[in-house]
Structure 1
Amino acid sequence: MATSDFVLGGLASVGATFFTNPIEVIKTRIQLQGELAARGSYVEPYKGVLQAFVTVAKNDGMLGLQKGLVPALYFQFIINSFRLSIYTNAVDRHWMHKKNGEISFGLGLMWGAIGGVVGSYFSSPFFMIKTQLQSQAANEIAVGYQHAHTSLGSAMREIYKKGGITGLWRGSLAALPRAAVGSGAQIATFGKTKALLVEYDLVTQPTYNSFCAGLIAGSLMSVAITPPDVISTRLYNQGVDAQGRGLYYNGWLDCFFKILRTEGIYGMYKGFWANYLRIAPHSTLVLLFFDELVAVREKYDLRM
């Protein structure tokens, strides 16, 4: 695995996160709204994406829209460093090529999923802290379990004090399906779409090609990832008892069935539009930045 690909993948995601973290805050709040309650039986402080932006800004201030930014940057750097570098390495080594030289979509899905799973596991503590900080809100608009963290550092110390190292990785295994589905769908679709756009002479200019492929990949990813993303958000944000056990859910399957029983299929797609509005531009920016950074590196290598 090329070290430069690892770093470039992380840098690409960090650049994108500055732009997309506010919508991530909105998405997290909507996913926690009405937790384990039947539709129509609870107060909805967040009635839509635009209204939620205004509500957060009004009650938490404009900086409230960037809650959880620091752990979000760490999370995005780690997960995308692994998944983009693993995928690129697999392409360079022809591990996903057919006998005729074409890239196999199925193998692309597999390597994209592998990269996502590895990156998700190592970045799990930051995803958990990001979620818990993003859910913090003024009493009037608070949803979900409210943690008392004041920063990334305080969250690390508190979680470690209560549960040790294993506490920092609580929920990590449950997040793997989210990473596998999302990363596989995004990266494999991105590579295949780029090739098809060139093959059919639709978008051949490199930057525009990367942009269009990233937009399509992000759109498909948002459809695939929303249910497992809702589950991950609920598991990471729930409080724990004195023994470190979740107050609401005992694991991925327990969370899945409880949401279906109490909130229906609608509950599995809470925050879909916020997720779409986050994932589509984030995916586009990450993959575009990554392609551009790789192009800059290759130009530099040629000059050397």
Structure 2
Amino acid sequence: MNYSYKRYWEPSTAEVIGLSLSVNTISAALTYPIEFVKVRSQIRTEGVGIRSKNLYMGINPNKVFREIHATGNGLRGFYQGFESHLIGRLSYLFIRNLTYKIIYDRTKPVKAHNDLSHREKGVIAGFAGGLAAFLTSPADLVNTRTIAEGGKPKEWRWGYKGLMDGINKIAATEGGNAALFRGSYANVLRAVILNISLTGPFDYLNEKIWITFGDMTWNKYAALLWASFWGSVATLPFDNIRTRLYAQNADPTKNRLTYSGWADAAKKLIQHEGISGFYVGFYAFYIRTFLYAWTTVFITDKITSDWKRKAGLKEWQI
């Protein structure tokens, strides 16, 4: 027996991608200073056991923010490397959302209830995020080094003038194009876990709140607070490892610690800083994750709701 399932109007792939890139440009610009503080905090923590320092000495995000601001560059100082961050972020989102949309659209029509399960969405999100993270690792590498070098002696700094300058210098001085993907495995793990740990808890709690309280305006934002917390808990250990791999110099004499890979980085982190070292930068990471998601969801929902009304959908269909 053949069945046909009604599908209400949905934005096209081009509209989804275009809106995503526009909205995430705003979100990235608003939250980049928090990302900047988080990376600086992670860099400061490296090897505290070797230096006989307390793990929490000097890594409070408020203190790091004030110290960077006190250098005299004002707010502009928190946007060093923003070009590589923005290009990398938009490239990631283009690849991730395009992959997700294609797989989602190919799967959704055969579902009797016209949607995918939380587990199916999580698997698609994890795969799409991992693929995008691998392909955009060079941009993340350049960006992390640009942020990290602020605490290094001037003669040890990489001095990248921008994304392409950084890519060219890394390829020319550190062993060819393969060097551009140093730390990419940790980056992929980070992206996969972040996508899964955000998508699953968000969809689950958003649905439960809707069933319990009805269609309230705060549903999604409460779910975002919940999902951002668990996403941060699950992802930050891999984010810390990624930062260390990206920020290490090709010359081992210029590193506090030198790592052969993500597993070696995890081993040395535990050895010198303890398990709590995996969660350095948690508050900054959590706040950034929530604010980024909140801004993105708020603007995207507003625009897509307007599109659906213009397409003739009733309020209960939006």
- TM norm. shorter chain > 0.5: yes
Cα separation, partners in 2 of 1:46 and 1:30, compared to 1, 3 Å: same
> 265-274 vs 147-156, which deviates more?
147-156
Q: How does 1:115-126 map to 2 (within 5 A)?
A: 115-126=128-139
The CA distance in 1 between the partners of 2:107 and 2:178, in whole Å, is: 37
The CA distance in 1 between the partners of 2:93 and 2:72, in whole Å, is: 30
Query: Which has the greater radius of gyration?
Result: 2
> 150-159 vs 19-28, which deviates more?
150-159
In structure 1, list runs of 5 or more residues that go unmatched.
none
251, 256, 260: which one aligns with 2:266: 256
The CA distance in 1 between the partners of 2:113 and 2:227, in whole Å, is: 25
Q: What's 1:295 paired with?
A: 305
Q: Does 1:4 align with 2:4?
A: no
The CA distance in 2 between the partners of 1:230 and 1:127, in whole Å, is: 13
Q: What's 1:67 paired with?
A: 80
Cα separation, partners in 2 of 1:229 and 1:191, compared to 1, 3 Å: same
The CA distance in 2 between the partners of 1:126 and 1:252, in whole Å, is: 19
Contact 2:183-2:245 within 8 A present in 1 as well: yes
In structure 2, list runs of 5 or more residues that go unmatched.
1-11, 314-318
Query: Cα distance, 1:85 vs. partner?
Result: 4.1
Q: How does 1:166-181 map to 2 (within 5 A)?
A: 166-181=178-193
User: Percent of aligned pairs with the same residue?
Assistant: 24
Tell me the matched-pair count: 294
Q: How does 1:144-183 map to 2 (within 5 A)?
A: 146-162=157-173, 163-183=175-195
Contact 1:210-1:291 within 8 A present in 2 as well: no
Query: Cα distance, 1:237 vs. partner?
Result: 1.1
Q: Does 1:38 align with 2:49?
A: yes
Q: Does 1:23 align with 2:34?
A: yes
Cα separation, partners in 2 of 1:287 and 1:188, compared to 1, 3 Å: farther
Q: Secondary structure at the match of 2:274?
A: helix
Cα separation, partners in 2 of 1:252 and 1:290, compared to 1, 3 Å: farther
Q: TM-score, structure 1 length as denominator?
A: 0.84
Query: Cα distance, 1:297 vs. partner?
Result: 4.5
Q: Secondary structure at the match of 1:59?
A: coil
Query: Cα distance, 1:58 vs. partner?
Result: 0.4
Root-mean-square deviation (Å) = 3.0
Query: Cα distance, 1:291 vs. partner?
Result: 3.3
Q: TM-score, structure 2 length as denominator?
A: 0.81
- Which string of whole-angstrom CA distances, capped at 9 and with x for unpartnered residues, describes residues 54-99 of structure 1? 1110025222211221111112212223334444444444459976
The CA distance in 2 between the partners of 1:282 and 1:273, in whole Å, is: 14
The CA distance in 2 between the partners of 1:96 and 1:276, in whole Å, is: 35
Contact 1:84-1:115 within 8 A present in 2 as well: yes
